[in-house]
A and B are shown apart, each in its own frame.
Chain A
Amino acid sequence: MTEERRRSIPTTIFVLIALVFLFLPLVIVVLFSFQSTGSVVFPFHGFSLRWYKTVFESEEFLEAVATSLKIAAIASLLTVVFGTAASYGISRSRFKLRWLVALLMVIPLSLPGLFIGASLLSFFDQTGVQLSTTTVLAGHLVYLLPFYIIIVRAAFDRADPLLEEAGADLGASPWRVFTRVLLPRVWPVIAGTACLMFALSLDEFVITFFVIGDEPTLPLFIWSRLRETVDPSINVISTLLLLTTLALGVVALLIGMRSARRRNPAIEGGPFADE
């Protein structure tokens, strides 16, 4: 059924204002990363890449980038491996305590990161674990795994199990059924969500702050710089982090839309279409 498009000029104006509200602060951060003087406020003195040069020559910055990339890569890889197994297990089982598992997955996501960070710090303190990049990795996984499982499990739930039964009846091993029957239908969701996980790990601050050792991640590096001075180098680092997270988000979104369209060519609007 096609619906007639409603018209409302005040709402349209409001949406435009909201878009400006959402994007303007970000545009300003990016703009001042090109500032030629040492200030991050108006007036804008014209385009210069000098702060980019300063940032890329900084050892500390490069080390923070390396630490962040390392953690994000390992965290998203582990999340994909264990998260996919868990999603498959939860989706295809008739286990009675499924609700408990589901609850366990939702709680870490609806609590402010403050509580997760502080619990982890208490735990590491009690067990005598030295704070390091490994503890940061653990902190990221607590937050990424539930997130991943919620999205990917829904994709498994949408895929008809009848096809897997058919595969099994035809003599395929469980592993073959998984890789040949199920995976081809859900891989775009897995790939898109993996990008999202990488971005979330790269940007994580709230939990990381509690469990960080002596090697700062990129957001922690921005934080410590913010407390010392404010010059356009912070805007440069912010711009890089912002654009990386945005790019990963867009990639995830595009993969998701493509897969939704392929699943049902009638869907015009991709994953968010309403009918």
Chain B
Amino acid sequence: MLLASPAMLFVFVVFVIPFFTFAVYSVLTSELFSIGPPVTLDSYRHAIESDSVRTLAYNAGLIGAIVAFVTVAAALPIAYWLRFCAGRWRLPVLFLITSTVIASYLVRIYAWRSVLGTHGLANSALESLGLIDHPLNFLLFNRFAVGIALVHIFLPYVVLLLYASFGPMPSALLECAQDLGAGAFRRWTRVIIPLMAPPLLSSWMLVFVLSAGDYVTPQLLGGTTGVMIGVEVQNQFKSVGDYASGAAISFLMLGAFALTYALLRLTMHFAKVPQRIEWSS
């Protein structure tokens, strides 16, 4: 255990202590790039009362929830295919998907500009197919563009997470369902989705927190309507210099995440969804 102490000490000094400093900052009084007493809850009050903060928080919650749902819904059939249908294609496809996990985050966001822009791929393709006469301007710089880029970022992670959860599920289970007369639809709704509920919900939560807390994508692709709350925190810290407000908004976000998590767990409890399913061989 002694061997672990340098790393632990480091994480303590550079994560735990800063996090407490951050918490303390949220109840102090801030002046242009400096901060000090008196202790006050004013920053929290201002943040809650501010219309713009509310709008941005709403955007983050909405985009985060939808992105998380779409990501998980898209990842499930891919993970299923990898586990049960892929055969000799499993390794190459898994390899391709895993390699996109590491592909540069910033570049992947930027890439969507070339796809959704006025003269981007989507518009050029639609025009050459004769489906539209003029480029569609509403594809980029809004919530939709932010959402699609976030799905693009998180999809490979969730595919890997769900694929790992599919691992121990025996294929015989699906054959039994089939032999008992369940069609594809019922196999999905009555067998696969209920058995995968714990990892599906935890993946949803993970993607929700990470995408609702993102501040880069909304800035590059969000225009004026797709801005999210993270951008406000970043602005308060790096441009406005109101550290107390930035910290207060951050802790309100963390509170909202904790509340979402609690609600999810409560729902799981009442819907009798186990926290995890133990497979025995």
Chain A residues positioned under 8 Å from B142 (CB to CB):
none
The reply to whether B243 and A122 contact each other, CB–CB distance below 8 Å, is yes
Known: A28-B115, A86-B4, A118-B233. A203 touches B10 (CB 8 A): no
Interface set, chain A 193-217, CB cutoff 8 A to B: 196, 199-200, 203, 205-206, 209-210
Interface string of A71-95 (1 = CB under 8 A from B): 0000000000011011111100101
Per the bound structure, the CA–CA distance linking A90 and B2 in Å amounts to 9
A249 on interface, CB distance cutoff 8 Å? yes
A154 on interface, CB distance cutoff 8 Å? no
The reply to whether A114 and B121 contact each other, CB–CB distance below 8 Å, is no
- Which partner residue on chain B sits nearest A272 by CB separation? B94
The reply to whether A209 and B238 contact each other, CB–CB distance below 8 Å, is yes
- Which partner residue on chain B sits nearest A8 by CB separation? B85
Which of B93, B103, B168, B254 has its CB near the most chain A CB atoms (within 10 A)?
A: B103
B143 on interface, CB distance cutoff 8 Å? no
The reply to whether A3 and B171 contact each other, CB–CB distance below 8 Å, is yes
The reply to whether B84 and A5 contact each other, CB–CB distance below 8 Å, is yes
Per the bound structure, the CA–CA distance linking A272 and B92 in Å amounts to 12
The reply to whether B8 and A101 contact each other, CB–CB distance below 8 Å, is yes
**Number of residue pairs A-B, CB distance < 8 angstroms:** 259
The reply to whether B120 and A41 contact each other, CB–CB distance below 8 Å, is yes
Per the bound structure, the CA–CA distance linking A22 and B82 in Å amounts to 16
The reply to whether B120 and A203 contact each other, CB–CB distance below 8 Å, is no
Per the bound structure, the CA–CA distance linking A126 and B74 in Å amounts to 44
Question: A77 → chain B, closest Cβ, in Å?
Answer: 14
Tell which of B3, B7, B115, B163 touches A145, judged by Cβ atoms closer than 8 Å: B7
Question: B9 → chain A, closest Cβ, in Å?
Answer: 10
B58 on interface, CB distance cutoff 8 Å? no
A188 on interface, CB distance cutoff 8 Å? no
> Chain B interface mostly helix, strand, loop or mixed?
helix
Question: B234 → chain A, closest Cβ, in Å?
Answer: 7
Per the bound structure, the CA–CA distance linking A138 and B13 in Å amounts to 10
Which of A42, A205, A219 has its CB near the most chain B CB atoms (within 10 A)?
A: A42
Chain B residues positioned under 8 Å from A151 (CB to CB):
none
Stretch at the interface among B17-25, B39-47, B49-57: B17-25
Interface set, chain A 100-131, CB cutoff 8 A to B: 101, 104-105, 107-108, 110-116, 118-123, 125-126
Known: A29-B111, A41-B119, A119-B22. A15 touches B77 (CB 8 A): yes
B97 on interface, CB distance cutoff 8 Å? yes
Known: A26-B107, A274-B83. A83 touches B15 (CB 8 A): no
A159 on interface, CB distance cutoff 8 Å? no
Tell which of B14, B15, B120, B156 touches A22, judged by Cβ atoms closer than 8 Å: B156
Interface set, chain B 62-114, CB cutoff 8 A to A: 74, 77-78, 80-87, 90-91, 93-108, 110-114
Per the bound structure, the CA–CA distance linking A105 and B81 in Å amounts to 32
- Which partner residue on chain A sits nearest B212 by CB separation? A112
Chain A residues positioned under 8 Å from B25 (CB to CB):
122, 126
The reply to whether A24 and B121 contact each other, CB–CB distance below 8 Å, is yes
Known: A5-B84, A24-B121, A42-B120. A104 touches B77 (CB 8 A): no
Question: A20 → chain B, closest Cβ, in Å?
Answer: 11
The reply to whether B233 and A19 contact each other, CB–CB distance below 8 Å, is no
The reply to whether B246 and A86 contact each other, CB–CB distance below 8 Å, is no
Known: A219-B106, A272-B163. A89 touches B2 (CB 8 A): yes
B59 on interface, CB distance cutoff 8 Å? no
A11 on interface, CB distance cutoff 8 Å? yes
Chain A residues positioned under 8 Å from B107 (CB to CB):
26, 29, 222, 238, 241-242
A253 on interface, CB distance cutoff 8 Å? yes
Tell which of B15, B82, B184 touches A116, judged by Cβ atoms closer than 8 Å: B15
Interface set, chain B 148-178, CB cutoff 8 A to A: 152, 155-156, 163-164, 166-168, 170-172, 174-175
- Which partner residue on chain B sits nearest A230 by CB separation? B113
Per the bound structure, the CA–CA distance linking A248 and B102 in Å amounts to 8
Tell which of A93, A126, A223, A253 touches B98, judged by Cβ atoms closer than 8 Å: A253
The reply to whether A85 and B4 contact each other, CB–CB distance below 8 Å, is yes
Per the bound structure, the CA–CA distance linking A121 and B247 in Å amounts to 11
Give me 26 A-to-B residue pairs in the complex whose CB atoms sit less than 8 angstroms apart, sorted by A's number.
Answer: A5-B85, A8-B81, A8-B85, A14-B77, A25-B115, A40-B113, A41-B119, A41-B124, A82-B6, A88-B4, A89-B5, A118-B233, A119-B21, A122-B22, A122-B25, A122-B247, A145-B11, A206-B105, A238-B104, A238-B106, A238-B111, A241-B106, A245-B103, A274-B83, A274-B167, A274-B168
- Beyond A4-B171, A14-B77, 9 additional pairs, beta carbon < 8 A: A6-B174, A25-B114, A101-B4, A108-B11, A118-B233, A121-B243, A206-B214, A238-B104, A249-B98
5 shortest interchain CB distances as A-B pairs: A112-B213, A249-B102, A89-B3, A123-B18, A89-B4
